[in-house]
């Protein structure tokens, strides 16, 4: 373990120690996500690979559930990290919080083992309770759903009780309202219906209203805190920006939900409402870029923590391009009719989840590690800085490469399968067998390998950064 | 701060109020729309037919007025030759739906265009020309679902694995797929060419023109 008493300001509070546990699990699951993504990607190229042993569906399910859980663990960890700092009092109910961490982690391990070893069940309610719910992203069986709700409620209790006891800042207020919505929405995904239209209608409440409303605002809160911490930006400025972002984000994202209601049996008025409001969704993301870049420029990029600042800037741009630009490209019904459910969607999904959320969690990991390693210097000329620089570079080259490859395959698929062949069984394979599609899938795997290399470097850097650093962290005024 | 007065539009309190109002109004509008939408997608409505629709022929035809294809509910044509009551039909479709969930179909396929992109969209699978003729379709589907790995249907060697689907489960899945094909999806998928469901020539002579003849399935 690190020597935690090296420089002033390096004493970790209880919430921060707990956060390190969440971060550790998060980074391990990030690795698992990449592993299963690579396997699923290879199955596009070599369909016999692991056929009947670890089928595409299982790899994909693990790829995505690992992603959702590591990001949630990263967010929860980040909130525990800032809780005492922000509220000015120790975390209320820390013992419970630690217990919940272990329950949560064990439940995740149990679910993963069932996914890997049991895989599928008979077509009855027992399977849905014990094995899989079979709904993309929220495949976790019902028992685990209930467990997740209990864990999140305990987490919520920690947050609310701590802020009400201590300082109740603007960030705290936004965060609490947002967590209520985030937890409440999960309930919309916890029921069974034979009606697939009804099923998907509510499923999108969870998925869309999470990633395009509540998660965005959560990340906005973390960003606000991150900017104060890494650059000493004035609180009033970040909190005003936070409200601007909330207004724009909820104002466009809530009714933007309609862009998923074009083709699932829902009425035609969603063409107009969904198309219009979702087309506005990039606006708050532009605001976030302006905010981060303006603040960084205003403080002349002078930051306590260079890697964290780099990832914060990456978040602003990644969110804008992945969610804003890539989302906008296919959000109008006239276009979405042909891109719906193709590699276009996968291209957007990757850039958005990575750009908006993975980046934010990684930025927080660096903020946390700086203190963990003894509040050491993480500015310019950092010892071994090549590692974090190459990691961020390779991860971005790999991700952008994958996203471009999928976009090209997606173009081909939307033309041939969707427009010309009319999405029949043979139309689907006419597109899948086309050289342009296959080339895209090759490049996806090659760039995936680059991404994986970047991850290895990132993990190595996280394990070592600042260990040999002999200088204390730069002190900020007004932080 | 005297500046705060001048810059009311840059003040924290202005944006806090704006955020609260914008969120509240959007949410209320969404709730109203949700009430209406849920009504319109409840099984038994115009857009999402009752489960007993599996007793009838389902077609997907171009609608001149709406300018896209829409499902057309045709004459009686019970699934597996057995007419079901509403309750029996719902139980069967529900068993099929539950099977799709417990086997993670959506982690390879898309349903109504949502899901995964490793295998064909299943929205109109019931109407796919590969099933051959409308007489052999039901049994062909059951057989395929129970042993999908046996025959190669595409040139790139991708196959659906055997998911240990039992015969009752397979029949239920077929019911679910037939029912799903009847949902009004605003023209998605576009330009879909259905299996030939026309009646035998004698009967068809007087009937309305049927859907376009299906192209020969490109085997292998
Ligand atoms: C960080 C925010 C976002 C994330 C993480 C995200 C992620 C995703 C993912 C993973 C999907 C695929 C869902 C599935 O499996 O079916 C999706 C679909 C979609 N997203 Fe986003 N998204 C974000 C923001 C946006 C924005 C801002 C827009 C529009 C401006 C947008 C437009 C769309 C559309 C239209 C689809 C449906 C694609 C289809 O029809 O297949 N997204 N998004
Ligand atoms: C080594 C790197 C990766 C590879 C090879 C990979 C591969 C894949 C594959 C094969 C799929 C299934 C797509 C389909 O259904 O056809 C997928 C889905 C997905 N992956 Fe990845 N992935 C990688 C990394 C990531 C990362 C880092 C993220 C985000 C943080 C991510 C987010 C997603 C999402 C959101 C989907 C669902 C897309 C949708 O449904 O539209 N992946 N990935
Ligand atoms: Fe969305």
Tell me which DSSP letter residue A167 carries.
Answer: -
B181 found inside a domain: yes
Q: What is the chain B residue with the closest CA to A342?
A: B117
pLDDT at B6 over 70: no
Which of A115-124, A223-232, A327-336, B46-55 shows the lowest mean pLDDT across its residues?
A223-232
Q: What is the pLDDT of residue A428?
A: 98
Q: What is the pLDDT of residue A71?
A: 98
B26 found inside a domain: no
Query: Is A252's C-beta closer than 6 angstroms to any atom of ligand 1?
Result: no
CATH number, domain containing residue B179: 1.10.760.10
pLDDT at A255 over 80: yes
Contact flag A257-B30 (C-beta cutoff 8 Å): yes
Tell me which DSSP letter residue B55 carries.
Answer: G
B95 found inside a domain: yes
Dist. CA A350 → ligand 2 center (Å): 6
Q: pLDDT tens, A61-87?
A: 999 999 999 999 999 999 999 999 999
Q: What is the pLDDT of residue A5?
A: 57
The per-residue DSSP string of A151-175 comes to HHHHHHHHHHHHHHHS---HHHHHH
- The answer to whether residue A246 neighbours chain B at the CB level (below 8 Å) is yes
Task: Give whole-number Cα distances, A438 to A383, A413, A433, B42, in Å.
Answer: 43, 11, 7, 40
Task: Give whole-number Cα distances, B189 to A66, A178, A411, A421, B74, in Å.
Answer: 31, 36, 16, 10, 20
Q: What is the mean pLDDT of residues B39-68?
A: 97
Give the CATH H-level superfamily of domain A303-479: Cytochrome c oxidase-like, subunit I domain (1.20.210.10)
pTM of the model: 0.95
Q: Which two tokens stand for residue B220?
A: 């292998």
Residues 251-310 of A with CB under 8 A from B: 251, 254-255, 257, 260-271, 273
B130 found inside a domain: yes
Q: What is the mean pLDDT of residues A408-432?
A: 97
Q: What is the chain B residue with the closest CA to A236?
A: B12
Confidence of residue A7 (pLDDT cuts 50, 70, 90): confident
Taking residue A283's Cβ as centre, other Cβ atoms within 10 Å add up to 15
Q: pLDDT tens, A140-168?
A: 999 999 999 999 999 999 999 999 999 99
Q: What is the pLDDT of residue A355?
A: 97
Residue identified by tokens 């004493």 is A11
Confidence of residue A391 (pLDDT cuts 50, 70, 90): very high
Peptide bond into B189 cis (omega under 30): yes
B218 found inside a domain: no
B213 found inside a domain: no
- The answer to whether residue B183 neighbours chain A at the CB level (below 8 Å) is yes
Q: pLDDT tens, B70-109?
A: 999 999 999 999 999 999 999 999 999 999 999 999 999 9
- What range does the domain containing B109 cover? 51-196
Query: Is A353's C-beta closer than 6 angstroms to any atom of ligand 1?
Result: yes
Task: Answer whether A163's CB lies under 8 Å from A179's CB.
Answer: no
Task: Please list every residue in chain A whose beta carbon sits closer than 8 Å to the beta carbon of residue B23.
Answer: 246-247, 250-251, 254
Domain count, chain B: 1
Query: Is A37's C-beta closer than 6 angstroms to any atom of ligand 2?
Result: yes
Distance, in Å, from the CA atom of A464 to the CA atom of B113, rounded to the nearest integer, reads 45
Task: Please list every residue in chain B whose beta carbon sits closer than 8 Å to the beta carbon of residue A132.
Answer: 101-102, 104
Q: Which two tokens stand for residue A278?
A: 């979702």
Q: What is the pLDDT of residue A475?
A: 77
Task: Please list every residue in chain B whose beta carbon sits closer than 8 Å to the beta carbon of residue A171.
Answer: none
pLDDT at A477 over 80: no
pLDDT at A361 over 60: yes
B139 found inside a domain: yes
Name B73's bridge partners. Answer: B58
Name B62's bridge partners. Answer: B69
CA angle B184–B101–B181, rounded 5-degree value: 20
B175 found inside a domain: yes
Q: What is the pLDDT of residue A111?
A: 96
Task: Please list every residue in chain B whose beta carbon sits closer than 8 Å to the beta carbon of residue A263.
Answer: 112-113, 185-188
Ligand 2, atom nearest to A30 Cα: 27
Q: What is the pLDDT of residue B171?
A: 98
Name A305's bridge partners. Answer: A378
- The answer to whether residue A184 neighbours chain B at the CB level (below 8 Å) is no
Taking residue B39's Cβ as centre, other Cβ atoms within 10 Å add up to 10
- Which contiguous run of DSSP H or E holds residue B110? strand B110-111
Query: Is A387's C-beta closer than 6 angstroms to any atom of ligand 2?
Result: no
Q: Give me the interface pTM, i.e. the ipTM.
A: 0.94
Distance, in Å, from the CA atom of A467 to the CA atom of A370, rounded to the nearest integer, reads 10
Q: pLDDT tens, B167-209?
A: 999 999 999 999 999 999 999 999 999 999 988 765 544 444 4
């Amino acid at each position: 373990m690190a020597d935690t008493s090296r420089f002033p300001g390096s004493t970790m509070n209880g919430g921060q120690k707990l956060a390190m546990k969440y971060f550790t699990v998060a980074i391990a699951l990030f690795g698992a996500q990449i592993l299963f993504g690579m396997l699923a990607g290879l199955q596009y190229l070599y369909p016999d690979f692991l056929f009947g042993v670890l089928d595409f569906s299982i790899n994909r399910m693990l790829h995505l559930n690992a992603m959702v859980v590591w990001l949630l663990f990263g967010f929860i960890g980040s909130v525990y990290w800032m809780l005492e700092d922000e509220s000015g009092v120790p975390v209320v109910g820390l013992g419970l919080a630690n217990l919940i961490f272990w329950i949560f982690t064990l439940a995740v391990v149990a679910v993963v083992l069932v996914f890997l070893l049991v895989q599928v069940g008979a077509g009855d309610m027992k399977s849905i309770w014990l094995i899989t719910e079979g709904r993309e992203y929220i495949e976790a069986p019902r028992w685990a759903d209930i467990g997740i709700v209990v864990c999140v409620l305990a987490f919520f209790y920690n947050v609310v009780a701590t802020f009400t006891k201590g300082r109740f800042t603007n960030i705290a207020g936004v965060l609490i309202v947002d967590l209520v919505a985030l937890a409440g929405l999960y309930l919309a995904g916890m029921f069974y219906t034979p009606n697939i239209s009804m099923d998907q209608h509510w499923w999108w409440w969870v998925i869309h209203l999470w990633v395009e409303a509540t998660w965005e605002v959560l990340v906005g809160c973390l960003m606000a805190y991150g900017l104060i911490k890494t650059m000493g930006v004035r609180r009033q400025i970040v909190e005003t920006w936070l409200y601007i972002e909330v207004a724009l984000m909820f104002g466009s994202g809530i009714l933007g939900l309609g862009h998923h209601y074009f083709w699932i049996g829902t009425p035609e008025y969603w063409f107009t409402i969904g198309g219009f409001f979702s087309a506005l969704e990039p606006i708050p993301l532009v605001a976030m870029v302006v905010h981060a870049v303006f603040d960084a420029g205003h403080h002349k990029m002078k930051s306590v923590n260079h890697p964290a600042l780099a990832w914060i800037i990456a978040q602003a741009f990644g969110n804008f391009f992945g969610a804003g630009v890539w989302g906008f490209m296919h959000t109008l019904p006239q276009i979405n009719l042909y891109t719906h459910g193709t590699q276009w969607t996968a291209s957007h999904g990757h850039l958005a989840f990575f750009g908006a959320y993975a980046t934010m969690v990684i930025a927080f990991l660096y903020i946390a590690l700086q203190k963990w390693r003894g509040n050491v210097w993480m500015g310019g000329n950092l010892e071994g800085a090549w590692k974090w620089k190459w990691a961020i570079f390779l991860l971005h080259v790999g991700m952008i490469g994958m996203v471009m490859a999928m976009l090209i395959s997606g173009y081909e698929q939307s033309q041939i399968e969707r427009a010309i062949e009319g999405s029949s069984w043979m139309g689907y394979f006419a597109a899948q067998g086309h050289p342009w599609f296959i080339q895209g899938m090759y490049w996806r795997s090659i760039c995936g390998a680059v991404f994986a290399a970047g991850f290895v470097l990132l993990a190595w850097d996280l394990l070592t950064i600042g260990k040999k650093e002999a200088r204390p962290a730069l002190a900020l005024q007004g932080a | 701060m005297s500046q705060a007065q001048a810059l009311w539009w840059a003040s924290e309190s202005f944006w806090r109020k704006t955020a609260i109002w914008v969120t509240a109004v959007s949410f209320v509008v969404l709730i109203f729309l949700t009430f209406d939408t849920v009504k319109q997608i409840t099984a038994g409505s115009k857009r999402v037919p009752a489960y007993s629709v599996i007793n009838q022929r389902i077609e997907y035809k171009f609608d001149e007025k709406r300018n896209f294809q829409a499902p057309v509910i045709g004459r009686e044509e019970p699934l597996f030759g057995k007419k079901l009551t509403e309750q029996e039909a719902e139980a069967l479709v529900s068993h099929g739906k539950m099977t799709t969930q417990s086997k993670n179909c959506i982690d390879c396929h898309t349903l109504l265009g949502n899901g995964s992109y490793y295998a064909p969209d299943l929205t109109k699978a019931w109407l796919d020309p590969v099933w051959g003729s409308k007489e052999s379709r039901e049994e062909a589907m059951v057989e395929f679902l129970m042993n999908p790995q046996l025959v190669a249907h595409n040139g790139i060697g991708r196959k659906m694995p055997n998911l240990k689907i039992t015969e009752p489960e397979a029949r239920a899945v077929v019911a679910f797929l037939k029912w799903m094909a009847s949902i009004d999806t605003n023209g998605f998928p576009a330009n879909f060419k259905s299996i030939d469901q026309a009646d035998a020539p004698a009967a068809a002579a007087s009937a309305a023109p049927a859907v376009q003849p299906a192209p020969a399935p490109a085997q292998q």
